[in-house]
């Protein structure tokens, strides 16, 4: 199993961001070239790709506020 | 000597349409689908370039060009000064000389200062040159309201562009159509006005309907310009609509299906050419027509859609109504703005009225 981390986009400790869009649903197959999410911190966007392939399970809903560096999905 | 009349009637679609491929499973937002379409055409055709205000490092204020300057550099993704007349005119000149420019007019509302370039030059040069000069240009522009941006940043105005001859006008509602129509627009040898509603782009800072994210083929493909699509089949009422109003109409159709009301939703996708056959075909099934349009009600798209039926088969209609923007400037205050927009509540009330149930309270 591998974890998908909310990327560190701000130098501030404990900075929070949001999941703007999940482009996949739990149970979908993914690869390292699959765009799985768009996230934002202070209106700056970033795309998220998984490090490994497998079947994804989403842990955080869209529009939820998340501390950067936290786990937002797992891949098995 | 009498010139031969064209064999095909004006504003209809020829038989050799591009085939729309299966959507697959890979999902994008409408904004990313547009970016991908432009990037793919830029990779295969050196004559394609992008120009406009904040299309470079900023990526377009509604994310139509995000990432392009990183791949193609500032000679093919050109930030311009705030002079729409100058840079749209430059685009027209480049197109005439064989380039395929994609020029962004930041808001459709800004057409006023540059309309001479758009409708006297871009749209008419092919005609005025006796067909000898082509203008293969895409003019893309953001439209629509719903986010308190005021009367001069919230208009759709597609009826205004569609009214003037010489330009194709396309208005996608979702990622699949946005990529396919952008690809077709760039490849077209005619000027195409590509009008995207900010509310269908899938942007995090706008209210986001789930229909702004959808499956999109990875390879280049075309959605044929001039071909409408039945996005939900139904038997009781036809809603003819476009752009963000497609999302609202589908939401209403899903809700009313639980009560046994069957709503067909036709997404026009293109205004010029207008798929009048598809409009008449749908009304032939239902007899009841509602046109939902975020543009101003009078002298525009909604009347044209109704006329398409009335001119061809007036006996088909047992009910007709419009859910449009009343003929007023779009208010800034959110409550007032949503009082004039074609909201799901107004669409639902129109369907209930068409079914003889009166206006819902």
Question: What is the residue-wise DSSP string for B125-137?
Answer: HHHHTTT------
pLDDT of residue A12: 85
pTM above 0.90, yes or no: yes
pLDDT digit string (tens) for B103-139?
Answer: 999 999 999 999 999 999 999 999 999 999 999 999 9
Q: Mean pLDDT lowest for which of B227-236, B312-321, B350-359?
A: B350-359
| Out of B25, B26, B202, closest to residue A21 by CB | B202
Closest-approach residue (CA) in chain A for B59: A45
Please count the other Cβ atoms lying within 10 Å of the Cβ belonging to residue B304: 18
Q: Residue with structure tokens 């060009």?
A: B65
Alpha-carbon distance B250 to nearest alpha carbon in chain A (angstroms): 21
What ipTM was assigned to the predicted interfaces of this complex? 0.87
Distance (Å, whole) CA B43 – CA B36: 10
Partners of residue A43 in chain B, C-beta under 8 Å: 205
Under the banding of pLDDT at 50, 70 and 90, the label for residue B191 is very high
Distance (Å, whole) CA B101 – CA B94: 7
pLDDT of residue B358: 53
Alpha helices, H only, chain B: 30-44, 68-72, 84-96, 111-115, 125-128, 158-163, 175-187, 244-257, 276-286, 301-312, 334-340, 344-354
- With 0-12 / 13-18 / 19 or more C-beta atoms within 10 angstroms meaning exposed / middle / buried, residue B162 is buried
Under the banding of pLDDT at 50, 70 and 90, the label for residue B13 is low
Please count the other Cβ atoms lying within 10 Å of the Cβ belonging to residue B288: 23
* A23:B202 CB<8 A: no
* B29:A40 CB<8 A: no
**Residue from B150, B149, B187, B143 nearest B168 by CA:** B187
* A21:B213 CB<8 A: yes
pLDDT digit string (tens) for B252-280?
Answer: 999 999 999 999 999 999 999 999 999 99
Under the banding of pLDDT at 50, 70 and 90, the label for residue B6 is very low
Distance (Å) of CA A18 to CA A7, A45, A48: 11, 10, 12
Please count the other Cβ atoms lying within 10 Å of the Cβ belonging to residue B222: 21
pLDDT of residue A18: 93
Q: Which of A17, A22, A23 to mutate to test the interface with B (most CBs of B within 10 A)?
A: A23
* A23:B205 CB<8 A: no
Q: Is B153 a catalytic residue?
A: yes
CA angle A31, A32, A34 (to 5 degrees): 65
| CB burial string B205-215: b at 16+ within 10 A, e below | ebebbebbbbe
For a pLDDT cut of 90, what percent of chain B falls above it? 91
Closest-approach residue (CA) in chain A for B63: A45
Alpha-carbon distance B127 to nearest alpha carbon in chain A (angstroms): 44
For B213-236, what is the mean pLDDT? 97
* B27:A20 CB<8 A: no
Residue A46 contacts B where some CB pair is shorter than 8 Å: no
Alpha-carbon distance A20 to nearest alpha carbon in chain B (angstroms): 5
């Amino acid at each position: 199993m591998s974890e998908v981390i909310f990327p560190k986009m701000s130098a501030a400790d404990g900075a929070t961001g949001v999941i703007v869009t999940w482009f996949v649903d739990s149970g979908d197959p993914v690869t390292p070239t699959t765009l799985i999410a768009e996230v934002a911190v202070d209106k700056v966007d970033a795309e998220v790709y998984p490090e490994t392939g497998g079947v994804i399970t989403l842990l955080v809903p869209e529009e939820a506020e998340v501390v950067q560096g936290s786990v937002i999905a797992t891949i098995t | 000597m009498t010139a031969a009349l064209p064999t095909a009637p004006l504003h209809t679609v020829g038989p050799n349409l591009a085939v729309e491929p299966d959507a697959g499973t890979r999902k994008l937002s409408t904004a990313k689908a547009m970016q991908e379409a432009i990037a793919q055409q830029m990779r295969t055709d050196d004559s394609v370039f992008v120009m406009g205000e904040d299309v470079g490092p900023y990526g377009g204020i509604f994310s139509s060009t995000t990432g392009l300057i990183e791949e193609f550099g500032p000679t093919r993704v050109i930030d311009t000064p705030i002079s729409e007349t100058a840079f749209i005119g430059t685009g027209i000149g480049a197109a005439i000389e064989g380039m395929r420019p994609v020029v962004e007019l930041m808001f459709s509302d800004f057409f006023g200062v540059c309309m001479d370039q758009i409708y006297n030059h871009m749209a008419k040069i092919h005609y005025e040159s006796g067909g000898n000069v082509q203008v293969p240009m895409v003019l893309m522009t953001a439209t629509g309201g719903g986010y308190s941006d005021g009367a001069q940043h919230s208009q759709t105005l597609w009826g205004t562009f569609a009214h003037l001859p010489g330009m194709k006008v396309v208005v996608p509602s979702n990622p699949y159509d946005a990529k396919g129509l952008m690809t077709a627009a760039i490849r077209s040898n005619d000027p195409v006005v590509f009008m995207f509603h900010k509310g269908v782009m899938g942007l995090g800072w706008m209210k986001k309907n789930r229909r702004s994210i959808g499956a999109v083929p990875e390879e280049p493909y075309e959605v044929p310009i001039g071909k409408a699509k039945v996005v939900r089949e139904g038997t009781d009422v036809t809603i003819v609509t476009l752009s963000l109003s497609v999302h609202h109409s589908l939401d209403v159709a899903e809700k009313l299906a639980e009560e046994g009301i069957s709503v067909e939703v036709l997404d026009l996708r293109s205004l010029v050419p207008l798929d009048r056959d598809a409009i008449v075909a749908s009304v032939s099934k239902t007899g009841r027509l509602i046109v939902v349009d975020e543009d101003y009600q009078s002298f525009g798209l909604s009347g044209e859609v109704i006329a398409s039926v009335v001119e061809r088969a007036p006996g088909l209609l047992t009910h007709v109504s419009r859910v449009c923007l009343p003929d007023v400037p779009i208010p800034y205050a959110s409550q007032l703005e949503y009082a004039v927009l074609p909201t799901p509540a107004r669409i639902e009330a129109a369907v209930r009225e068409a079914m003889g149930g009166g206006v819902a309270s």
